[in-house]
A and B are shown apart, each in its own frame.
Chain A
Amino acid sequence: AAGVIQSPRHLIKEKRETATLKCYPIPRHDTVYWYQQGPGQDPQFLISFYEKMQSDKGSIPDRFSAQQFSDYHSELNMSSLELGDSALYFCASSSRQLAGEVDTQYFGPGTRLTVL
């Protein structure tokens, strides 16, 4: 079965640079979530999109932005990178079955971002 695809898998950037992470959800999934997992931490929700509209926002820095495109893939744009942005970034996708019902989120392999 097709899974969530994330690219790149690894990314090394210098401070103050920008980075773009891409996520391709499971086919026919309409919802995408982004999470950030620091070393030894649990994943923290950043932002989500449903049918190409932002549906929720968590502890996402103003330096970060994201969008979901017409083909449902999503991109997380990160600017003015800081050392503290070094983390594993997960994208997850789900299919909203009924209004309000929570479906299972399937996670991609993650993008490991290292800021030097």
Chain B
Amino acid sequence: AQKVTQAQTEISVVEKEDVTLDCVYETRDTTYYLFWYKQPPSGELVFLIRRNSFDEQNEISGRYSWNFQKSTSSFNFTITASQVVDSAVYFCALSEEGSSNTGKLIFGQGTTLQVKP
């Protein structure tokens, strides 16, 4: 069965601190996709990154970086020099590929990040 766990329910940091959001997943498929979405207080879900299971290269986008480690089934997200605008709920999600693939996303419980000025 597929499952995504975000053990950190809430994280509070002061602006300019670095913060890492953890994501651990479970799947029996050898091919799968991992995602991160941001949900700011306004409520929309904003796509941040998509990673397939064969691409373990870490990615950096501005202040955001992602560390994918298949050996530990983790896909962690780091924000460097956090800003107040980063305050949001962050969701990690998993989708499996296969003959019955329909692309549905399985979300983790979300981590609420509060960045204080």
Q: Which residues of A are interface residues toward B (Cβ below 8 A)?
A: 31, 33, 35, 42-45, 48, 50, 55-56, 58, 88, 90, 92, 94, 96, 100-110, 112
Q: A42-B91, A100-B101, A102-B103 are in contact. Are A109 and B43 (CB under 8 A)?
A: yes
Is B97 part of the contact surface with A, judged by Cβ < 8 Å?
A: yes
Task: Please provide the chain B residues from 70 to 117 with a CB less than 8 Å away from any CB of chain A in the complex.
Answer: 91, 95-99, 101-110
Task: Take A104-B50, A107-B37 as given contacts and tell me if A45 and B44 are in contact as well, using a CB distance cutoff of 8 Å.
Answer: no
Q: Is B45 an interface residue (CB 8 A)?
A: yes
| Pairwise interchain contact B107-A42, C-beta atoms closer than 8 A | yes
8 Å CB contact of A107 from B33, B45, B96, B108:
B45
A contacts with B: majority SS? strand
A94 near B43: Cβ-Cβ < 8 Å: no
Q: Give 29 pairs: A residue, B residue, CB < 8 Å, sorted on A.
A: A33-B103, A33-B104, A42-B91, A42-B109, A42-B110, A43-B45, A45-B105, A48-B102, A48-B104, A56-B102, A56-B104, A92-B105, A94-B103, A100-B101, A102-B33, A102-B52, A102-B95, A102-B96, A103-B103, A104-B35, A104-B50, A105-B35, A105-B105, A107-B37, A107-B47, A108-B44, A109-B44, A110-B43, A112-B43
**By the criterion CB–CB under 8 Å, are A102 and B101 in contact?**
yes
9 pairs of A and B residues whose beta carbons are closest in the complex: A56-B102, A42-B107, A107-B45, A45-B104, A102-B33, A55-B102, A102-B95, A102-B103, A104-B50
Bound complex: CA A42 to CA B98 (Å) = 24
Contact A107 B44 (CB under 8 A): yes
A1 CA to B33 CA, complexed, in Å: 24
Q: Of A58, A88, A100, A106, which contacts B99 at CB under 8 A?
A: A100
Chain A residue at smallest Cβ distance from B95: A102
Query: With the chains together, A108 CA to B42 CA distance in Å?
Result: 12
Which B residues are CB-close (under 8 A) to A109? Answer: 43-44
A69 to B103, CA, bound (A): 20
Task: Check if B97 sits within 8 Å of A102, measured CB to CB.
Answer: yes
